[in-house]
Structure 1
Amino acid sequence: MKIAVIGHVRFPIARPFMGGMEAHCWHLCRGLRARGHDVTLFAAGDSDWGGKVEPVVDVHYDQEFPWHKWHGTPELTGHLDTAFERILPRLTEGGFDVVHNNSLHRFPPRFAARHRIPMVTSLHVPPFDVLKRAVADGGAPWSLFTTCSQRQLGAWFDDGDAPFARVVPNGIDLADWPFRPKGDGSAVWMGRITPTKGTHLAAQAAKIAGVPLRIYGTTEDQGYFDTEIVPLLGEGVQYGGHLQGADLTDAIARASVLLFTPLWDEPFGLAAIEAMACGLPIAAVENGAIREVAGDVARYAGADAGELGEALREAIGIPRRAARERVEGLFTLELMLEEYEALYGRAVERVGHGFELPSFEAYELPPTEYAWSQGL
């Protein structure tokens, strides 16, 4: 199949990954190509997955419009609306069999529904108002949706009626995260260092439990890092920087347990399955879908450092082989790609079927000013 993949454009789809969405999109493109598909990525122009890139924006938007300062503003919205208006015709003119939309922008689902473009839109975050309206408007037999957990399916389709949606869990390439049968007794944390990821809570819990901790990841919020993390460094807590590839895998696999500390409704938790593949059990703050993901190879706590410290001490005793086997059975890249391919086929097959779209004002390609004023 000739497949267009639309990436989220806040960061480049390139290593080192800024977060799970970028890693998912990168592996999706490479995995589809390895299965014989012709893949074009529509993303920030500074993306690099080893294949064709069609720029949505010249550079990722967080460079020019840092999200923490600009999210929700007319300036950032207008910047993105202009970019997505420009790419939508390219999706119809490019001869693509199907589009996989990971963008989190509100235009593509409505465009697919109205113009009968076979599309699968993956919803990687909790619902927010403008995109939730577009999802409600954009469902059709040829315009399908996925969430990465059952919890998120319920959040996006809160009346339980989701005929055009299904859960497709995230998957990883097990070759990138080889199993290691024994850890060194330490804990590890990885991810974007920002308040909603709870890095400070991991450090506090490790100190309480008396377990050495190494922190890896990019500093998304420098003020948070300086005021909340730096004072906790030392005395068994170290920051190891933003590693990538084999260096990150080795750093994670050496540890005995992963601290997973979301302070928001985490839709999945890619870091959890990456660590589990190496054999690490989890000590987790139970927010979002982590219990769906980690099951009985984790110990859970509330957002309290003392509770989490106790969960950390207990989790170290969980057999490493059990963590690996859970990933092998549920969360491989191959399983994810098979599910997506089945949905691509379904969308393509049903594009010619008769179906009456929900009643809403016909969606064309509105000027940016109109899009902003109407909340499209």
Structure 2
Amino acid sequence: MRIAQIAPLAERVPPKLYGGTERIVSCLTEELVRLGHDVTLFASGDSLTAAKLVPCCDVALRLNPDVRDFLPYHAAMLEEVRCRAHQFDVLHFHIEFLHFPLIRDFAERTVTTLHCRLDLPDIYPFYRAFPDIPLVSISENQRLPMPPVNWQGTVHHGLDPAGLPFKEGSRGDYLAFLGRISPEKGPDRAIDIAARVGMPLKIAAKVDAQDRDYWEAVVRPMVESHSNVEYIGEIDETQKVDFLGNAAALLFPINWPEPFGLVMIEAMACGTPVLAFRYGSAPEVVEHGRSGALVDTVEQAVEALEMVLKLDRRQVRESFERRFTAERMTRDYLDIYENLTGVQTGTAPARRAGGESIGLEVA
């Protein structure tokens, strides 16, 4: 099967640092190649892949200090995708909804995985205007706020087990918080929990510009006032393996409808149990009493932590291997690809106005 994967340009595929969507695109792309499919990846030029790479900018946009606006780069990428659309049996988009108006002529050969939250009121009229575009959710909970749309299925994320090796026993006595410093991710709750149980907490997370005020006003003072809390900052993939694998447990104290929560299965892959708040996808990911615990309040989290710390780490890893591998994820997507109504339908080559399709030239 000839498959195009269209990734966001904010991060490399796979990402050097933070970037859940790009990591999933990488795992899916590499597994499709391993299975013998002809895969083309539209992504930043510094991406690493066994697929054919169409570079749509030199480096990941978030890491390029000269880039101020991501939109022109994504628009240029979509023009290249449109011009090459006839080359593919399936086109798989991971960039939310920017492409919808451009794919009307071949929408039946496309699928779009929605990686973000869908409960924001401004997006409702948009999806209502495009009820025919084939969509995939990453959790059942993610779907709940949406108007009637063309859901093709729900595919939980999966990762390469080799990239996150199992750790039989944690070397540290600390709790871990990994991801992004923002109110919805609950780092303040994590600090509160660690303080109440008297355990060290290590926070490895980035601070985006829009969350800088929250960091300065809420989280940073809490970090500085608790001697058991260490803020590490953003970490890379190698550091993540040690950070999660050596933790006694991962704290996932969210207070928003998390679409999936990739860090939960990253921890589980290392054998590290997860203590998660019961929001969004968490009940679909964490098996209470097996791979972690689900709670509703800080008080419940404090009570549940003793049980979480006693969980069998091999059992936690087994839960990951049974439910959240890249191989399983890829099988699920192949089932969706094969059931798209247009995968056997030939499509006339798309061309730029006045000429042949040409390569993308974006700095």
Give the TM-score of the pair, scaled to structure 2. 0.81
Structure 1 residue 89 corresponds to structure 2 residue 77: no
Equivalent residue, structure 1, for 2:169: 182
**Compared CA separation, residues 165 and 279, structure 1 to 2 (3 A):** same
Note closer, same or farther for the CA distance 1:318–1:81 as it changes in structure 2 (3 Å cut): closer
SS at match of 1:178: coil
Following TM superposition, by how much is the alpha carbon of 1:319 offset from its aligned partner in structure 2, in angstroms?
A: 2.5
Judge conservation of contact 1:217–1:242 (CA < 8 Å) in 2: yes
Counting only pairs closer than 5 Å after superposition, residues 1-376 of structure 1 correspond to structure 2 as 1-49=1-49, 51-57=51-57, 60-62=60-62, 79=72, 82-83=75-76, 86-93=79-86, 95-107=87-99, 109-116=100-107, 118-127=109-118, 128=120, 132-133=124-125, 135-138=127-130, 140=132, 144-156=134-146, 158=147, 164-183=151-170, 184-220=172-208, 221-231=211-221, 232-233=223-224, 235-296=227-288, 297-302=291-296, 305-347=298-340, 352=345
C-alpha spacing 1:66/1:229, structure 2 compared with 1 (3 Å): farther
Aligned equivalents of 2:97 and 2:56: distance in 1?
A: 12
CA distance in 1, matches of 2:109, 2:12: 25
Aligned to 2:355: none
Does the 8 Å contact 1:113/1:138 carry over to 2?
Answer: no
* 2-structure distance, mates of 1:134, 1:346: 25
Q: 2: CA distance between counterparts of 1:311 and 1:169?
A: 26
Alpha-carbon distance, 1:147 to partner: 0.8
- Tell me by how many angstroms 1:124 deviates: 1.0
Distance 1:147 1:81 in 2: 22
AA of the residue aligned to 2:294? Y
Post-superposition offset of 1:139: 5.3
1:3 is displaced (CA, Å) by: 1.6
Equivalent position amino acid for 2:16 in 1: P
Structure 2 residue aligned with 1:359: none
Residue pair 2:18, 2:236 contacting (<8 A) in 1 also:
no
* 181-190 or 223-232, which deviates more: 223-232
Aligned partners of 1:23, 1:89: CA distance in 2, in Å? 24
Task: Give the corresponding residue for 1:372.
Answer: none
Give deviations 1:207-238, integer Å, cap 9, x for gaps.
Answer: 11111111223332444334433331452211
User: CA contact under 8 A between 1:92 and 1:117: conserved in structure 2?
Assistant: no
Distance in 2, matches of 1:182 and 1:351, equals 50
Q: Is the 8 A contact 2:292 2:308 kept in 1?
A: yes
- Return 5+ residue gaps in structure 2 as ranges: 347-351, 353-363
Uncovered stretches (5+) of structure 1, i.e. residues with no partner = 354-364, 366-376
- Give percent identity, aligned residues only: 28
| Structure with the larger helix share | 1
Provide the C-alpha distance between the structure 2 equivalents of 1:130 and 1:84, rounded to a whole number of angstroms: 25
Q: Go from structure 1 to structure 2 and tell me whether the alpha carbon gap of 1:57 and 1:139 turns closer, same or farther (over 3 Å shift).
A: farther
AA in 1 matched with 2:19? G
The root-mean-square deviation of aligned C-alpha atoms, in Å, is 3.3
- In structure 2, the CA distance between the partners of 1:115 and 1:251, relative to structure 1 (3 Å rule), is closer
- How far apart are the structure 1 equivalents of 2:166 and 2:215? 31
CA deviation digits over 1:327-373, x for unaligned, max 9?
121111100001111212222665549xxxxxxxxxxx9xxxxxxxx
- Give the secondary structure class of the aligned counterpart of 1:217: strand
- CA deviations on 1:89-142 (whole Å, 9 max, x unpaired) are 23325x1221111011332x44434335511110111225665555445455xx
